[in-house]
Amino acid sequence: MRALMLLVFISLLVVLPSAHWGVPLFGLILLVPASAVIRLSAATRKPLDAAPFNLERDDWRWVLALLAYGSLWLLDVIRSRQWPADTTGWTIPLPLWPLLAAVFLIWLLRYPPGVRVFWVAVCCGALGAGSIAFYERLILGKARASNDLNPIIFGNLSLLLGSLSLLALLWCLRRGHARSLGLALLALLAGLFGIAGSLLSGTRGGWVALPFLLILWFRTSRGLLPAAWRYSAIAALAVVFIVAVWLPSTNVAPRLAEAVTEAQQFQAGDSRGSVGLRLEMWRGGLTLWSEKPWLGWTESGVIQGLHALIDSGEISSRVHRYRQLHSDVIDTGARRGLMGVATLLMLYGVPLWLFWGRLHSGCRAETQLMAGAGLMVCVAYIDFGLSQSMLRDPLGLSGYLGLCLACWASLRGTEARAIKRAAQQPAGRAPTRH
């Protein structure tokens, strides 16, 4: 049941607009209580795959980071008496989501899903996102693909799912079955579709993350592919990306030229376009943060503070319609001060440190790939958060929490099964690297 929930959540994350909250809600109401029944029947399963294991120190570090981030945000809501609101003004209980994620993490770690579920899910999600993007741009003629979501969030998650699908390609090649070539081609197609979905969405901020994700793919593939294959793959992907940039149908080159023009206009004192407005919001957010550095202005105080800066002429009046500052760090600092930024760094840094340690530990191939996937999620969101408040968007926050938890639970399950297999092998026989 855990595997099914992860499969549906990741596969439909950007395909079905309500999946990011509907699937976790379904799991909270039905699947978590049903786990007690599953636990009673666990004795009839294979011991290697079904036996639970105790949470270790690294697992509790993850739980602590989630609790710290959600609790401080919740205290800020209590202090300001206002819940976060989306772009339409609807209030959303986002501070509760990291707390619920901690519950889900403990639940997933008791009987972790296999890695196959994760790789199949990201490939399905990337194929779905890319297919929607092609349909909206080529058939419907839309200027930006979005699936009726925020095109920035849609494009960023499409890019991330596509990059994870390229890691699934490595997993398929390592399987060694006769059908692995077909699965590998499907994973490659999913990777290209996910990246294409990002390009067709016109999301410029996310494109900066692509070189870093390719570097992570190259590092993760060390020891899994011959060096010539690794360099050839990176070169081929770079060529594909460059060609896609210059194709008129993708609208990438005009979007990049537009960003340069808007930055020049901002330097000249004219805050026009998305780049100029972002820079204006960052200036206003940093000004507010500097006035209340420790605890910030609270959820309700930031908007009031921005309006005061607009009235005094310190920032442009064009930013009045925005409810977030288009930067996770600046937005968090302005609302919750250094205390909030510290919990944000924990939310980024704890999984980043844990996954990085696994990548460098000389572990089995499956663990190495899952560590690389977790690093991709963290690095991508750090980059996305530079120009968009991803963690204040319901889809963005649920995507980070869900993908990170899925990577960690699958990785820990792989480690636990490897330990049990090693214990069952005859003495003196070294475990094989799969």
pLDDT tens-digit readout, 120-146: 999 999 999 999 999 999 999 898 999
**pLDDT score recorded for residue 43:** 47
CB 123 within 8 A of CB 187: yes
Distance CA 130, CA 200 (A): 9
Instruction: Decide: 158 and 18 in contact? Cβ < 8 Å.
Output: no
Q: Which residues contact 402 (CB under 8 A, 6 or more apart)?
A: 6, 9, 10, 13, 20, 24
The continuous run of DSSP H or E covering 181 comes out as helix 180-201
Type of residue at 37: V
Stretches where the chain sits below pLDDT 70 are: 1, 31-53, 87-89, 175-179, 249-250, 266-272, 361-362, 422-434
For residue 47, the model assigns a pLDDT of 47
Quote the pLDDT of residue 34.
Answer: 62
Rounded Cα distance between 266 and 242, Å, is: 28
Residue in 278, 195, 275 with CA at minimum distance from that of residue 243: 195
pLDDT of residue 176: 57
N-term to C-term CA, the chain: 26
Predicted confidence at residue 49, as pLDDT, reads 45
With beta carbons less than 8 A apart as the criterion, state whether 358 and 368 touch: yes
| Helix count and strand count (H, E) for the chain | 18, 0
**What is the signed CA dihedral for 153, 386, 381, 192, rounded to 10 degrees?**
60
* Confidence (pTM): 0.91
3-state secondary structure of 201: helix
The residue with tokens 């901690």 is 102
Residue 48 confidence (pLDDT):
42
Residue 48 burial by CB count (10 A; 0-12/13-18/19+): exposed, middle or buried? exposed
Q: Which helix (H) or strand (E) holds 1?
A: none
* Residue 184 to residue 168: CA distance in whole angstroms: 8
**394-424 vs 96-110: helix crossing angle, rounded to 10:** 20
CA-atom Rg of the chain in angstroms: 22
The two tokens of residue 122 are 């990201």
Instruction: Output the six-digit token pair for 91.
Output: 């209030």
Provide the pLDDT for residue 65: 97
pLDDT of residue 54: 73
